[in-house]
Amino acid sequence: MAAAPANPRTGSPSPRAQLPPCYYEGYLEKRGAKDKVALRLWTCLCGNTLYFFNTPKDTSFVEKLDLSGFVSLIDDPSRDRNLEAARLNLRMKDGEIKLTAPNLEARELWKGFLYSVVDLAVPTTLTLLPGQLHMLKEVVEKEKMRRKARVSSRAPASPLSLPLVGEIPACFRPVSRTEAEVLLERHPDCGNMLLRPGRDGSSLAVTTRQDLNGSVFRHYRVTQKQQGGYIIDVESPIPCPTLHDVINALMEKTAGTLQPFILEEPYEENITFVSSNDENGERTLHSALSGPLSRTPSLPPKQVGADRWSLRSQTRSPSSSPRSFSPPGSPSNSMRRLVLSPSPLSQSLTDELKQKLEKRRASQQ
């Protein structure tokens, strides 16, 4: 839930200069589970935390809300006394907070910025203008860089200093205990058992979630043996050759109640592309047609030999010599045989000439 700054009455304020970069700010009406009335506060989204101020000029916040425990953000259709106002239900791991934006446009913007810093991705289900989407993209990049710099400044560079042996199960996530609980609660349909690094950096842990008048979380330590394999550290330790066997053992022990957490990343359902208008240069996003592809009639496959000879025969003039050869099996092969084979008339003329030449030679002798 929202937490007040330490010792607010004795004067230990948190100047805005010490806060993370502010991505978005504006007035919101906030009402928690223990609040009797809603308070209109100047709200700043700095990093992945909401800071609440009495006025925009205040340098110290009165409350803050860390979004690491974010579960969901749902529109509240109930009407407000201000007909233009738009309500939101912000569900956190430890409770629900009701927020009211001045209008529908402001509510969509708040949702866009909140989703961007929580998921580190620009939401695609909101009705926003291209310029607003560009702002969200910049926020995502800035928040990624901020978190990367914060993580690199910590002592351990990796959440798990012990290298994993063998194939890693698909339910492994390099997250902390709190982040694992939030993932399991936000995506109950994706499974309820998650493998993650342990706090000490030299072991693993399995986080599970079940429903019993609310979420019930359990954490089990998994240590890696020096001689190979793993052990589930419970009252009666369970040895497992591989990490896959760790997951299978927990599934068998609970008769299939525990299932691996497999979060499918979203994919686009339509093909989209950006095009620019030649007249005004404006760039817009279009969706490709979903119908079948229009295929042009394909040409018959080329026959290399036949094409070469047919092209040569086509380029010759009609008065060309009839002695044009075509490869065997080509359409002009029969014509080749017709031209080359002697006719009966030409054969008889040849024989007659031979006889005359022989008589002439004989008379001369």
Comparing C-alpha atoms, which of 209, 231, 254 is closest to residue 93? 209
- List pLDDT tens digits, range 239-260: 999 999 999 999 999 999 999 9
Please state, in angstroms and rounded to a whole number, the distance separating the CA atoms of residues 223 and 234: 11
The fold adopted by the segment(s) 177-254 is SHC Adaptor Protein (3.30.505)
Comparing C-alpha atoms, which of 215, 227, 229 is closest to residue 185? 215
Listed range (205-214, 255-264, 317-326) with the worst mean pLDDT: 317-326
Comparing C-alpha atoms, which of 6, 17, 14, 24 is closest to residue 60? 14
- List pLDDT tens digits, range 264-320: 766 777 788 788 777 777 777 777 777 666 665 656 655 555 454 444 444 444 444
Looking at residue 365, its pLDDT comes to 64
- Domain edges within the chain: 15-152, 177-254
Top-confidence residue, 135 or 157: 135
Top-confidence residue, 359 or 62: 62
CB 42 within 8 A of CB 33: no
The fold adopted by the segment(s) 15-152 is PH-domain like (2.30.29)
Vertex 353: Cα angle to 347 and 355 (nearest 5): 105
321 HSE (CA, 13 A, CB side): 4
